[in-house]
Each structure stands twice: as C-alpha cells, then as structure tokens.
A and B are shown apart, each in its own frame.
Chain A
Amino acid sequence: MSKKIDARGLSCPQPVLLTLEELKRGDEKEIVVLVDTVTSRENVMRAASSKGCRVEGTESEEGGYKVVIRRN
C-alpha cells in the first residue's frame, strides 16, 4: 500500500511539512507526493533523502510532478 499526499498548489514549506509529518506518523512503506512546481519537487526530495529514504521524482500523469518516497 502507498500513501498519497496531494500538495499541488501549496507552496513551500507546506509540501515538505506534510511529507515529514507523514514520515514521522505513518507506517506505509511508500509515500507518493504530488506537487506542481519543480521547486517543491526538489525540496520534498531533498527533505526525504535527508531522512534516509530512497526518493524518485517523475512527471505526474495528473499534471505537475510526482515524488515517490520509499522507506529503508
């Protein structure tokens, strides 16, 4: 199962805050974060990898960008 966070339209630091919150509270193996600017994508990826997660950023089929975060 993966948890989806829709942070589209939100500007930083919100997408990063939502992602870190989920990393802290949730227990899903995989978190998918949707954002709509490259800046947010970079920020979310940077924050998640600093928490020791594997991250992958791609274009999203729903518009904007998708960051897939996997816990180690």
Chain B
Amino acid sequence: MKNFFATRWGIISVGAFIGVFAALLQKWGNPGNMGICVACFERDIAGAVGLHRAAVVQYLRPEIIGFVIGALIAAYLFKEFRPRAGSAPIVRFVLGVFAMIGALVFLGCPWRAVLRLAGGDGNAIFGILGLIGGVWIGTLFFKGGYNLGPTRSTYASVGWLLPLVMAGFLAFRLIFPPINEQAQNGILFYSLKGPGSMFAPLSVSLGIGAVIGFLAQRSRFCTMGAIRDFILFKQVHLLSGFVSLVIAAFITNWIVGQFHPGFTGQPVAHTMSIWNFGGMVVAGLAFALAGGCPGRQLFMAGEGDGDAAVFVLGMIVGAGFSHNFGLASSPAGVGPHGIAAVIVGLAVCLFIGFTMRKKA
C-alpha cells in the first residue's frame, strides 16, 4: 500500500497542518510564539513534576503526551511498531540533556525556532542559523564514520514504556487538574504567571497533539533531518515539510493577528544574538548525533524505539539541570551559567562525535 504521507505532497501537508494548528493553539491559550515547542513543553513537564522549581514554567503539557500516543496508534495501525533498543542508550541520554540545555539558552526547539520566525521574532534567525550550523557539524561526523551502532529488536513492552509513562502523566493531569490561583494540586505544580500559566484546554491540546503524532509518524516529519538531508544528500524531501510549516504558521498568524515583526519585546525570547546562535549550535549538533529533532524522537519512541525514549528522558532531566543550575535563558538574557553550559555542551558533543566512529 502506498503511503501518501511519505510522498512530497504528504510531507508538505503534514508540515502545513502543524504550522496552522501551532498558530491556532497559541490563539487558544498556549504561550506567545509557542503554540508547540517540544523542548519548552518537556521543560514545562519537568517543572510540573518538580524536577525543577522555576515557578513560571510548570505545566504538564498534553501535546507531548499526544505526540507519543498518536505515533503509537499510527505505528500499530500500519504495522510499523518495531520494539528496538540498545544503540548506546547512555550516549543518547547525555545528548538529550545537552540538547535541552542548548535549546533553553535559545528558548526553543527547532519547531519553536521557526514558529518564532513565523510570529515575527527576528531573534529566531540567529537560532535557526545556529541550528543549521550544529546540524552541519553533525554531517561532518557522519561523513567521518560517526555511528552509535545498531539497535536490536526486543520485547514489545520495551517499546511500550515511554507511551506508558505518557499515559501515567495523563492520569496525573486528570487526577490533579489545575485549580484557579493554586500553585499546586496534589503532586503536580502549576504556574500562576508566565508561559507555564498559559495553555489551551486539555482536550484541544491532547487531541491536536495526537493527530500531529499520528501524521508525523506516517510522514517521518523531522526538522533536524530536513537540514541534514539537504546538506548531506541535497535532498529536499523533509525540508519541504519544514518550509511548509513556516509558511502555514506565518499565514495563520497573519490572519489571526499574531504576526508582530521586531527584535525586542518578543514573547519568551531574548536579544543576545550570539547566544541564540550558540545555544542552537549545541542543540542542533546533539539532535544530529542522536538522529532526530526532539519531535521526531517522541514519534520514534511511539514507534517502539527505546533509544529515542532515552533521549526524551534525557531532555526532561536536562530541563531540570537547566533551571536548577541557572543555565536557561529568560527574556532578560542568558542565565548566570548559560554561557558556560553552551561551551561544556559543545565540548561534550564534539567528544561524542570524534570518539564514536567506526572506520570502514
């Protein structure tokens, strides 16, 4: 059977769907230029469960749950669920940690980088350039034989673990829902102000997340892969989906009055261009070395990839470090140790890239 979503028009329509609904999620309550941000939302989840206690970024984001569950459903429906694991999980965990640290210096994952651009935030340009730079360094390692080794097929339940964790998160969210003006309900923390306090209704977030998870599994949508395949193979397949996301989000923002061009005063953004760039170099390199952008890692985890699941957990734990150690930026600029974190993150990624290669 031909998979429409794996065709050029398929990936373009999936990118457009994500762009339109990301902009609409913002209209329906999500934070500014953050209709969807995989890094920010995983960071908010880390805050909701108390891995960090940054009061303004705590919310158990249902979109992330939807991504994994939607991908799981698609994988089962089309017989593509392949439980697999064992390709250097510790490396994937560390890459996840530093991917998150880098992304939070910029304040966004690749999805949010282009959503910020589509909302008129000029600072995003430096983040996107950094992302391209990081992925480009990654392609040099690929050409030099970088390889984390093969995965092995394993028990179906291995592939089920991250989806089950997500189901557990959803149960938490249902048992301990947000209560007006209350910073905590049971075990979950909630933000009373800041981006963590802004969210679309649960059913909307979860539903759109699940549909995106489903479509992204079918189409293999990946923002890192978009840049990587273009640099490595001059292939524009995935890139056409990424570009279609930007255009669709821009048009939607423009129609609903969310397009505000400029550099200063942009929502959840700072203007320190060098570190917007540097943060995303680290994140882009970490995504490239781990084989997928943060969204794609969630979708692969839904398809049964236990190593992608480890990367996701690395990102959530990385968010904890990021805020506990003052590495994450804020609208005022980089955190007190953000610059040091970018340098350490780059060094760790280079160490991984240089030392983990097989010579033919």
Contacts and interface: CB of A to CB of B under 8 A. Distances in A.
Interface stretch (B39-47, B146-154, B262-270, B317-325): B146-154
A17 B142 CA distance: 8
A13 B80 contact: no
A53 B169 CA distance: 47
Interface stretch (B21-29, B120-128, B226-234): B226-234
Contact of B151 (A9, A13, A17, A38): A9
Contacts, number: 46
Interface in A1-50: 8-14, 16-17, 20, 36-39, 42, 46-47, 50
Interface size class of B (residues with CB under 8 A): 20 to 34
Interface residues of A, number: 18
Given A9-B87, A9-B150, A36-B153, A46 B237 contact: yes
A38 B60 CA distance: 32
Contact of A38 (B80, B149, B229): B80
Contact of A42 (B6, B151, B152, B229): B6
Given A36-B153, A37-B303, A42-B6, 17 more contacts: A8-B150, A9-B84, A9-B150, A9-B151, A10-B147, A11-B87, A11-B291, A13-B228, A13-B229, A13-B232, A13-B291, A14-B147, A17-B143, A20-B233, A42-B3, A46-B237, A50-B233
30 contacts: A8-B150, A9-B84, A9-B87, A9-B149, A9-B150, A10-B150, A11-B87, A11-B151, A11-B291, A12-B291, A13-B229, A13-B232, A13-B233, A14-B147, A16-B233, A17-B232, A20-B233, A36-B82, A36-B84, A36-B153, A37-B80, A38-B80, A39-B220, A42-B3, A42-B6, A42-B220, A46-B237, A47-B233, A47-B235, A50-B233
